[in-house]
């Protein structure tokens, strides 16, 4: 298995995260690990060895944990316990773990430097919004991104790019790439459309 993606449970429980690991493997391979390893009295810590065994058995290349911001300190026994679980997880399964989440997820890893360093041992990338150029006429991150994005219009006769258009997009998107892409003119949508509108 080159990679395995596991969704963080919406209820914020580390135990349910472990359950989701077995469910993801079962969905990908047609196995029955969830029934084998997840019992009513099982704890997250007791399932770590089983997760490591399954990861080694199927040669998992990278474990992707998505929506990590759903984990809650209260449901996981406190922030220290939850962070210790992640440190132990990366040590026991010996597989790179990629955490993906919104900026709210940063709150989970900030309390102790040790946990933040260990959780980010494979690298950490914080994608914030694009910054604008400080000097008029210069190109900052936003201007370079917007000029490339503007070439992707679907219209046969695309609206020419202008500083006013760039300023309008900045006003509505505040430099957030996902919103800017959703805001790009689409066929039959007029000049600009709000993200999520018809």
Residues 6+ positions from 143 with CB-CB distance below 8 Å: 132, 133, 166
Pairing of strands 3-7, 97-99: unpaired
How confident is the model over 97-123, as a mean pLDDT? 63
How confident is the model over 130-152, as a mean pLDDT? 78
Tokens 């058995």 map to which residue?
A: 57
The pLDDT-based confidence of 13 (bands split at 50, 70, 90) is confident
Count helices and strands in the chain by DSSP H and E runs: 9, 3
Percent of the chain with pLDDT over 90: 23
């Amino acid at each position: 298995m080159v990679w395995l993606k596991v969704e963080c449970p919406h209820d914020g429980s580390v135990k349910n995260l472990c359950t989701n690991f077995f469910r993801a493997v079962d969905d990908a391979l047609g196995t029955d690990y969830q029934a084998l390893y997840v019992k009513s009295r099982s704890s997250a810590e007791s399932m770590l060895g089983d997760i490591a065994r399954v990861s080694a058995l199927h040669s998992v290349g990278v474990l992707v944990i998505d929506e990590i911001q759903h984990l809650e300190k209260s449901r996981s026994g406190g922030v220290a316990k939850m962070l210790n679980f992640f440190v132990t997880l990366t040590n026991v399964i010996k597989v790179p773990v990629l955490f993906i989440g919104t900026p709210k997820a940063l709150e989970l890893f900030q309390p102790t430097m040790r946990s933040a360093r260990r959780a980010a041992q494979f690298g950490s990338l914080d994608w914030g919004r694009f910054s604008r150029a400080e000097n008029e006429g210069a190109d900052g991150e936003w201007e370079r991104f917007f000029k490339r994005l503007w070439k992707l219009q679907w219209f046969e006769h695309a609206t020419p790019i202008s500083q006013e258009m760039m300023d309008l997009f900045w006003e509505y998107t505040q430099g957030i790439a996902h919103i800017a892409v959703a805001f790009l003119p689409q066929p039959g949508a007029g000049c600009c459309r709000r993200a999520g509108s018809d």
